[in-house]
Amino acid sequence: MLAVISWLKRYRHGYQITLVCSGKIKGSTKMLGLSQLKEEEVHKHFTNRVTLKQDDIEYADYIWQLYCSDSPLRLESVYKFNPMSPFQYLATAIEAHLQRFPSIENGLNKIENTILETAQNHNFKSKKELVQQLINDEKVYGFGDLQYEYNINTISKLFSSFDPVKTSDKGKQVLENQLNFYGQIRNDISYLGGSKKYSFLYQNETKKLLQITS
């Protein structure tokens, strides 16, 4: 959404932009996208659409530029300075984005830790069952099967089997923060936005990022 608004700001300057936002629906515990809504719910959201002011457009563009930059550190606090923003789920989205960087505790990010924890707490007969459970449990990222497949393959060395699904002894140690997997998973070709994924570490206690300088 931010990317689209940024594009419109640059190439459709002066055009009216309205925001139709789904998300939390009464009676549902999950965040829902527009494609998941009933017809009457879509009509209701469209009726309640918000016309973005120029300041809103500039703000969205600024956040997008920060996301595309080579450092996510400014994102840690800048989104909190605009509590009247019409982008009501932006703070949650940015917080979730920051947790995609590897944790300082065990080297895995929020998604990878969730995959490992889900596998540890269930008895799945196949990787397909694991992926389906992850999709069912997901409340923020909205990942599909291919995205989970990619993340599972990234930490495949922490599993001893996928038929049935079993975590390895090393996987259990990583999950319990007894072993840090950062050194074995790090690479220089993974990016989050415009930032190298493994150039920053996420601190769960402070909810802040630490930049690795060497």
Q: 115 and 194 in one domain?
A: yes
| pLDDT at site 139 | 77
Beta strand pairing call for 195-196 and 200-203: unpaired
φ/ψ bin of 108: left (φ > 0), alpha (ψ from -120 to 50), beta (otherwise)? beta
Residue 186's CB is within 10 A of a number of other CB atoms, namely 15
Residue 118 belongs to a domain: yes
Q: 85 and 17 in one domain?
A: yes
**What does the pLDDT average to over 67-75?**
94
Mean pLDDT in the chain? 91
Q: 128 and 85 in one domain?
A: no
Residue 85's pLDDT band (cuts 50, 70, 90): confident
| pLDDT at site 214 | 65
Q: 200 and 117 in one domain?
A: yes
The most confident of the ranges 22-31, 45-54, 152-161, 205-214 is 152-161
Who has greater pLDDT, 197 or 214? Answer: 197
pLDDT for residue 119 is more than 80: yes
Residue 174's CB is within 10 A of a number of other CB atoms, namely 27
Q: 42 and 74 in one domain?
A: yes
Q: 125 and 67 in one domain?
A: no
pLDDT for residue 154 is more than 90: yes
Q: 56 and 125 in one domain?
A: no
Last residue of one domain, picked from the residues 95, 127, 159: 95
Query: For residues 137 and 168, what is the distance between their CA atoms, to the nearest angstrom?
Result: 23
**What does the pLDDT average to over 58-62?**
94
pLDDT digits (tens, 9 = 90+) for 127-139: 999 999 999 998 7
Per the structure, the complete domain to which residue 32 belongs is given by 2-95
Closest CA to 91 of 101, 83, 99: 83
Among the residue ranges 41-55, 77-91, 175-189, the one predicted with the least confidence is: 77-91
pTM summary value? 0.89
Tell me: cis bond preceding 164? Omega within 30 of 0 counts: yes
Residue 100 belongs to a domain: no
In the chain, how many domains are there?
A: 2
| pLDDT at site 29 | 66
Residue 101 belongs to a domain: no
